[in-house]
Structure 1
């Protein structure tokens, strides 16, 4: 392990410990920069094969970076000390497709037939954008990223189907072009944008009212740029209606020990 990596791994371990102890409950954007963050879906085994196919059929919205063994809440490929019962700032609990509550841990809900899916997150390319002088507006303002349901359908798989969710970051046109070039290198973090410009063309009517997260300022001369988002499966879960499903709260991700550059394409 190189000396340059060691401090980052200490940051990720410290952040997960802070989350586990209830000290950090907010969004994880801008934290432990350089580490891959992940969207989380936890499902009973009898829904897992269909969800796996859903991810494989929609690799831009649902780029898989980790899958657990059945009943195992550890994910050693993503972090030696990860415990999926405690390591998200906030969990959403779905029953029969409806969100019924949020929790700070799921220890008492854990089942031996659970399988954990971790999907890449656009927070992972925000570090590269920031290094290029293109700090995302949500980081500048210290808020959760803006997320919107679009009219773009995903490819159905079994009981899972629904529209694509996107994140939005505004840039002036020349910076938008550079942001596209940078994020294209991160296919496991949703890669290049799906759309930029007129939001109504993808079914978004009001940028000031995101479906998830917080609105951000769009300044004169800027255009909205939209990337696929790992909240997309939460819409599919509503349609599939599993008896019990657990996800991350939007913007409150699993912080892994995988470097974002490890999954980049240069």
Structure 2
């Protein structure tokens, strides 16, 4: 089921992609359903939902909320006819901040008090970068995008606190300004980079040892460019240790029915 060409996957509609995930396709979603927005998930019990919402509002760069499903809801405008419990390739289930499972279906963990936050993802602007000649190293190298905890702290909200998490894409030095300009037009999916160059400026000691995802090879003349990442709420869950939470597995996103262009500003 995983032996599907990247070109075939890029042409899938969101509905077809979600069906493939339900049928067992397990792989990072970068490059799938080109032109359609992808999203992070953080799912928490109702009593924690206000803290998550406040955390997102206080930290809009890593946590831009695209939609919310009320307690017990499993579908909505961003995934018409979909099911939030089954339609991602992989999830992470947490108890007291500890990962207890990485299922491909969270139906058995579902509760009627769970509130789902759908958070913008930088995979959404990758097509725009590609269309302007900026390659994605993680796609070219067949791996998940690398993600790192940083030394930058997010604003705390209620019971939640944690570090900013970033994703990294190497960009040729001559194209860094273009990458900044292009991604700045997508503020709802993290927007412009938060850091360019020296990883130590973010407290990243070894760029070849990401906290999430996979390392990528930096070609000569390429500079590491870092964007705020929607894994940030997961890092807050791991630090703050709420009794229960569900998220997407890093890099394994919800493919929504919204177009990338829906989140582009002039």
Counterpart position of 1:19: 21
Alpha-carbon distance in structure 2 between the residues aligned to 1:80 and 1:234: 25
TM-score, structure 2 as length reference? 0.94
Change (3 A) 1:237 1:32: same
CA distance in 1, matches of 2:186, 2:246: 26
Aligned partners of 1:25 and 1:229: how far apart in 2? 21
User: 2-side partners of 1:163 and 1:242: how far apart?
Assistant: 16
SS at match of 1:119: strand
TM-score (norm 1): 0.94
Query: How large is the Cα RMSD of the aligned pairs?
Result: 1.2
Structure 1's unaligned 5+ residue stretches are 1-7
CA contact 1:159–1:239 (8 Å) conserved in 2: no
Q: Indicate the residue corresponding to 1:88 in structure 2.
A: 88
Inter-partner Cα distance in structure 2 for 1:254 and 1:104? 12
SS in 1 for 2:20: helix
What's the secondary structure of 2:79's corresponding residue?
coil
**1:184 aligned onto 2:184:** yes
Instruction: Tell me which residue corresponds to 1:4.
Output: none
Show the 5 A alignment for 1:40-189. 40-75=41-76, 77-189=77-189
For 1:28-39, what aligned pairs fall within 5 Å after superposition? 28-39=29-40
| Contact 2:42–2:117 (Cα < 8 Å) also in 1 | yes
CA displacement 1:1-25 (0-9 Å, x = unmatched): xxxxxxx996111110000111x11
Q: What is the SS of the residue equivalent to 2:192?
A: coil
> 1:5 maps to what in 2?
none
Q: Partner of 1:222 in structure 2?
A: 222
Q: Given that residues 37 and 254 in structure 1 are in contact (C-alpha distance below 8 angstroms), is that contact kept between their aligned partners in structure 2?
A: yes
1:106 shift after superposition: 0.9
Single out whichever of 234-243 and 153-162 deviates more from structure 2: 234-243
In structure 2, how many angstroms separate the alpha carbons of the residues matched to 1:205 and 1:244? 31
